[in-house]
Amino acid sequence: MHRGDGDGTRDTFEQAQQTGRPFNAEKDNFSGASGLLFEQAMAQTRMAVCLTDPRLENDPIVFCNKAFEKLTGYKQEDIVGRNCRFLQGPKTDQDQVAKIREAIRTEEVLVVELLNYRKDGSTFWNALHLGPIYDEEGKLRYFFGSQWDVSDIHLARAEEKHAKAMAREVSHRLKNVFAVIGGIVNITGRAMDARSVTTKINERIQALGRAYEPTLDDAALGTIEVGQAIRSVLNPYDPEGNRIRFDGNGARTEPNAVSAMGLTLHELATNASKYGALSNGDGTITVSWHHEQDRHERQSLVIDWKESGGPRIEEEPEITGTGFDIAERLLAYSRGTLDRTWEEDGLRARISLPLKS
Amino acid sequence: MKRILILEDEPLIAMDLQLAFEDAGADAVVTVCCEDALEAIGHTDFEGAVLDVNLGKGETCEPVALELRRRDIPFLLHTGDLDRAGEALRDLEAPILAKPSGADDVVSRLFGLNGQFEPA
């Protein structure tokens, strides 16, 4: 193999040209003025580039640029003349290699990511873009390959995957903790003959647990999607999924709003199960939510609750439920409100929670 | 008296479920691993079961679920993470009650299965 001590890129081209094929300097884009530009561009680009000659036995690399040397750690003289597969190693995915082989056979453009090995044995994720280059007669002349080190992207993906797995694990454990708390409360209630109290406590704890559950995936964003929390608090009250209608966009709120919101919805649903739209066979509830701006231009999260089809309401019932008292106080701490109107066909309630600006 | 099998590796949840079944007039046997559960099934005629899906160290209730299905004994999967249930368990399409849920809900749900039970 020719080893020039001048400009390596040029030498390699000369090698490519010394392969016995007719080479038309006028027509070939790798020579003349545009050829010079090409060589300079190839020398300066940070993208590793190589050309292989599929007409030679074993489809060897006939050209590579400096970036290719830098990426792989090999010197040009180690590279030229070899098939690209010398960059593969034991952990290279053979399915991806098969795709490359197929693309070369069918002369198609292909982008694959595969694990390649440097001269020192270290690995990198290579986003390989390859495609055929034809001469003026439309005959296959070279295969072009550009290599890009995407190890950082792979690492980021792996970290994201890991983070998701962790979030799932935390979520699973959190559910388990809530289940265990429920167990303790129930057992204690039985032992102290206070079942009715502990049932109430447990219902509220479990509602709270459900309200927080969908927030885990989102927590890193600093806000949570309201709809998920609302659905997961209310789902147990509508096992068939045909009594409560949800209507809202992707409105978000602070995680801190979850406890007041979750407990309030729980009280509304409990009330509906006992006296309202969920106490008979065919009442329904529509829950909708949106952001609203008050006259001081402060944003609030508003959740509307409307029951219908439940037992007819003749007059405003006397609400003495401690549940609503707790909910209202909780909401008040965040300057939120709970308004209830007893309409003839069912309760209308509105939860309003100011958002921190 | 109805005899119920509980497979649950968390003692507090197991105890809560057992007491809830007793309150409902059923006799509940608690097991903490598949081996114990299968042994219990071998010498006791259960009328229903509540199975925790993930039993720690990668063990799932799958073998017990398959055996109960083979014997036509209704059961309920009680789990916080169904994603880990695995293919075979999902294929059984057994009723699922998500954790956390009240012990009384577990009882009434199991008693409601297939109309085979009536709460005592």
> Residues 35-74, chain B: which have Cβ within 8 Å of A?
54
State chain B's mean pLDDT as an integer.
85
Q: Which residues of A touch B19 (CB under 8 A)?
A: 186-187, 190
The string of DSSP codes covering A8-32 is HHHHHHHHHHTTSS---TTT-TTSH
pLDDT on residue B18:
93
Is residue A303 a contact partner of residue A279, using CB atoms and an 8 Å limit? no
Q: Cα dist. A95→A60, A92, A100, A127, A336 in Å?
A: 21, 9, 9, 15, 58
Q: Which residues of B touch A182 (CB under 8 A)?
A: 13, 16, 100, 102-103
A186: nearest CB among B16, B84, B98: B16
> Residues 75-94, chain B: which have Cβ within 8 Å of A?
80-81, 83-84
Q: Which helix (H) or strand (E) holds A310?
A: none
| CA atoms of B20 and B43, how far apart (whole Å) | 23
pLDDT on residue A37:
81
A242: amino acid identity, one letter: N
pLDDT on residue A6:
42
In order of their start, the domains of chain A are 8-149 (3.30.450.20), 154-354 (3.30.565.10)
State whether B103 and A178 contact (CB < 8 Å): no
Please name the residues in contact with A332: beta carbons below 8 A apart, sequence gap of 6 or more: none
- First-last CA distance in chain A: 70
Q: Cα dist. A57→A22, A83, A331 in Å?
A: 17, 9, 78
Mutation test of the interface with chain A: which of B12, B15, B22, B83, choosing the one with the most A Cβ atoms within 10 A? B12
pLDDT on residue A27:
44
3-state secondary structure of A208: helix
Residue B31, both tokens: 């097991």
State whether B99 and A203 contact (CB < 8 Å): no
- Report whether the peptide linkage leading into residue B74 is cis, meaning its omega lies within 30 degrees of zero: no
Side-chain half-sphere CA neighbours of B49 within 13 A: 32
C-alpha B79: how far from chain center = 10
B18 lies in some domain: yes
Comparing CA positions, the residue from A124, A84, A86 lying closest to residue A100 is A84
B88 lies in some domain: yes
Q: What ipTM, to 2 d.p.?
A: 0.75
Q: What is the extent of the structural domain holding B9?
A: 2-111
**pLDDT > 60? residue B120:** no
**Site of tokens 């993470």:** B81
The 8 Å CB, 24+ separation contacts for B92-95 are B92/B65, B92/B66, B94/B65, B94/B69
B108: amino acid identity, one letter: S
Q: What is the pLDDT of residues B20-76, one digit of tens each?
A: 999 899 999 999 999 999 999 999 999 999 999 888 777 889 999 999 999 999 999
Q: What is the pLDDT of residues A108-133, one digit of tens each?
A: 999 999 999 999 999 999 999 999 99
Side-chain half-sphere CA neighbours of A15 within 13 A: 24
What's the gap in Å between the CA of B79 and the closest CA on chain A?
9
Side-chain half-sphere CA neighbours of A21 within 13 A: 19
Q: CA of B56: which chain A residue's CA is closest?
A: A173
Q: How many domains are contained in chain B? A: 1
Q: Which residues of B touch A191 (CB under 8 A)?
A: none
- How many Cβ pairs closer than 8 A exist between chain A and B? 62
State chain A's mean pLDDT as an integer.
83
B81 lies in some domain: yes
Domain CATH for B68: 3.40.50.2300
What's the gap in Å between the CA of B23 and the closest CA on chain A?
10
Q: CB neighbours (10 Å) of residue A333? A: 10
Low-confidence ranges of chain A (pLDDT < 70): 1-32, 214-222, 318-321, 357
| CA atoms of B108 and B85, how far apart (whole Å) | 23
Side-chain half-sphere CA neighbours of B44 within 13 A: 21
Is residue A198 a contact partner of residue A186, using CB atoms and an 8 Å limit? yes
Q: What is the pLDDT of residues B77-103, one digit of tens each?
A: 998 766 666 677 778 788 888 887 788
| CA atoms of B20 and B2, how far apart (whole Å) | 13
State whether B103 and A182 contact (CB < 8 Å): yes
> Residues 132-191, chain A: which have Cβ within 8 Å of B?
168, 171-172, 175-176, 178-184, 186-187, 190
Mutation test of the interface with chain A: which of B81, B109, B113, choosing the one with the most A Cβ atoms within 10 A? B81
C-alpha A260: how far from chain center = 29
Mutation test of the interface with chain B: which of A173, A174, A187, choosing the one with the most B Cβ atoms within 10 A? A187
| CA atoms of A19 and B51, how far apart (whole Å) | 72
State whether B81 and A175 contact (CB < 8 Å): yes
Dihedral sign for Cα atoms in the order A144, A149, A151, A156: negative
Please name the residues in contact with A29: beta carbons below 8 A apart, sequence gap of 6 or more: A35, A38
Q: What is the pLDDT of residues A253-288, one digit of tens each?
A: 877 788 888 989 999 999 899 889 999 888 999 999
| CA atoms of A279 and A93, how far apart (whole Å) | 60
What percent of chain B clears pLDDT 70, i.e. is strictly above it? 89
Please name the residues in contact with A191: beta carbons below 8 A apart, sequence gap of 6 or more: none
| CA atoms of A45 and B114, how far apart (whole Å) | 70
pLDDT on residue A26:
40
3-state secondary structure of A294: coil
B118 lies in some domain: no
What percent of chain A clears pLDDT 90, i.e. is strictly above it? 38
Mean pLDDT along residues B106-116: 78
3-state secondary structure of A2: coil
Q: Which residues of B touch A232 (CB under 8 A)?
A: none
| CA atoms of A278 and A307, how far apart (whole Å) | 9
Residue A284, both tokens: 């329904």
